[in-house]
Structure 1
């Protein structure tokens, strides 16, 4: 189900890029489908003891209503945000929907993770083409482990406002190589922590019933997720430096959502 919702969302945002009066409706359709996809996947997130994405899903409901309201008004802030989402989908979609492209990227990342671990004198073996194993613990590398989602999102953010060629090149360099390299280190850290059981703590919080899962939970769902969030904030700051208009746009976008939230709580007076 989630695959179809993501595909429909992608089609909606691609339709948004085609000039015409339909654009605002296409964007609303795209946002609605991607948010429905978040809710469809809640069971998986809870099964993994991952609370970040359920929180994002809850916050996405008011986000959708506010975004749709301003898209119907053809507000530039909401339109530019939808353009960012459309660009992100253009980058991500080939790897998601063309199996050969997605498998190629996963295979490249697996090889480079093994190389990083070898440089750290941490020996592993391959149980399958995308499964790294040590001490009978296995980690499957999927498309979500390649960093392509974060790269696509941040490149989409950079495309939210008009830029010149120099800004485009610098934005790409600060986003793609940085996220890709740090993602390799992230994967290596998670594999080392899980297979060596570095964090076997608080099973009442972290366990999902699998032996040793606690170390994976703390390494992947907590430490790696929080670190990635901090890194994305730093990259965003770098983008604001390279593209000053992006910083102004982010402030205007914040004012749009904050203003609506204040209205909802009667604090806009």
Structure 2
């Protein structure tokens, strides 16, 4: 889950501020306020405020549909953003109906926003993330014998790989944007880890591990896409036909779209599931908000500790015993 600012070409604005930014900040602000109310034991007001935050959060994702459909041309991300509104409204409904356990997931979203939105909206942080990621990706390309150099991209950052269009297969190149930095996925795991009730010392290892693995895999992804696009690794006729006929994209974008929208995004889902499993093994409390996600999706209660096997169940029990011993509760 990333939370990018809607590009100017499709963004609706309030004054000079994109509507997506307004909705995102409003939702995260409401989630944070609900979290504070819960900490102060005002549970019922926290539920109602979090319910409203979920609805606004869903509206934010709805504003992203034109971007993912018209510009990114990503079927996966378009479907996810379309599904976000009804799922978010349902989460709000469950909170209003008294499902207090959803407050943990709401708190996780609050922390995710606190991780992500400053990076997205503070210019100096945004510039550093994008240009550092571009430099690291270029270093990765050099390991494979390519050294195109970095030039200014259309987004105004030194993040475009300067392949000579007369020497490459497609004549195209790529540039790094905010969603290429991996900060969205990092925010997801950071938010989940921060939100659960566990001692800080047990949160450090899964946090560092998840951030490190995401950083490395994201770098591999950027190098793969950055080379596949100019050098036409997927310019075969069957892919060109699909991209031009069903996605309405130019033929020379085929390698980029196949590498980015289908291969990389599909493998990213697999990678995130693997990282989730590693985090759960180290911090079983993360299962609680994940169970809430499954309940929203299916309407069925799940015991993920039991489903994942005795090892995780044992770690969950051990974590509970550790928490009781640290609070004097036995």
Pairwise same-fold verdict (TM > 0.5):
yes
Aligned equivalents of 1:176, 1:88: Cα separation in 2: 13
Are residue 187 (structure 1) and residue 205 (structure 2) matched? no
Structure-2 residue corresponding to 1:133: 162
- 1:6 aligns to 2:10 (yes or no): no
Q: TM-score, normalised by structure 1?
A: 0.88
1:40-68 CA deviation, whole Å, 9 max, x = no partner?
22222222321112211332244123211
Structure 1 residues 248 and 34, CA gap change in structure 2 (3 angstroms): closer
Structure 1 residues not aligned, in runs of 5+: 262-269
Partner of 1:120: 144
Please tell me whether residue 34 in structure 1 is matched to residue 57 in structure 2: yes
* Cα shift at 1:249: 5.0
Matched, 1:88 2:112: yes
Q: Report which of the two structures shows the higher radius of gyration computed on alpha carbons.
A: 2
Q: Following TM superposition, where does structure 1 have runs of at least 4 consecutive aligned residues deviating by more than 4 angstroms? A: none
Q: Distance in 2 between matches of 1:214 and 1:34?
A: 33
Could you tell me how far 1:248 is from its partner in structure 2? Answer: 5.1
Paired with 2:46 and 2:241, the residues of 1 have a C-alpha distance of 48
2:196 corresponds to which of 161, 169, 177:
161
Alignment of 1:212-227 (within 5 A): 212-227=252-267
In 2, Cα distance between equivalents of 1:143 and 1:255: 31
In the TM superposition, what is the alpha-carbon distance from 1:253 to its structure 2 partner? 4.8
SS in 2 for 1:130: strand
Shift of 1:257: 4.3
SS in 2 for 1:131: strand
The number of residues matched between the two structures is 261
Aligned counterparts of 2:123 and 2:138: Cα–Cα separation in 1: 22
User: Could you tell me how far apart the structure 1 residues matched to 2:20 and 2:203 are?
Assistant: 32
2:209 paired residue among 162, 165, 174: 174
Deviates more, 1:195-204 or 1:15-24: 15-24
Q: Distance in 2 between matches of 1:17 and 1:205?
A: 47
> Do residues 243 (structure 1) and 283 (structure 2) align?
yes
CA RMSD of aligned residues (A): 2.1
Indicate how the Cα distance of structure 1 residues 158 and 82 shifts in structure 2: closer, same or farther if over 3 A, else same: same
**How many Å apart are 1:240 and its aligned residue?**
1.4
C-alpha contact (below 8 Å) 1:91/1:152 kept by paired residues: yes
Is 1:205 the counterpart of 2:245 in the alignment?
no
TM-score, normalised by the number of residues in structure 2? 0.73
The DSSP-based 3-state class of the residue aligned with 1:212 is helix
Say if 1:206 and 1:115 are closer, same or farther in 2 by CA, change over 3 A. same
Judged with a 3 Å threshold, the aligned counterparts in structure 2 of structure 1 residues 125 and 7 are, in CA distance, closer, same or farther, namely: same
Alpha-carbon shift at residue 147 of structure 1 (Å): 0.3
Q: Residue by residue, what CA displacement relative to the aligned partner does 1:221-266 show, whole Å, maximum 9, x if unpaired?
A: 11110111101000111111112232355345524642379xxxxx
Q: Secondary structure at the match of 1:247?
A: helix
Contact map agreement 2:27 2:54 (CA 8 A) in 1: yes
C-alpha separation in 2, matches of 1:256 and 1:196: 43
Distance 1:35 1:65, change over 3 A: closer
Alignment correspondent of 1:264:
none
CA distance in 1, matches of 2:287, 2:81: 25
Q: Which runs of 5+ in 2 are unaligned?
A: 1-18, 153-157, 166-171, 302-330
Distance 1:66 1:210, change over 3 A: same
SS of 2:162's partner is strand
**CA separation in 2, counterparts of 1:257 and 1:39?**
18
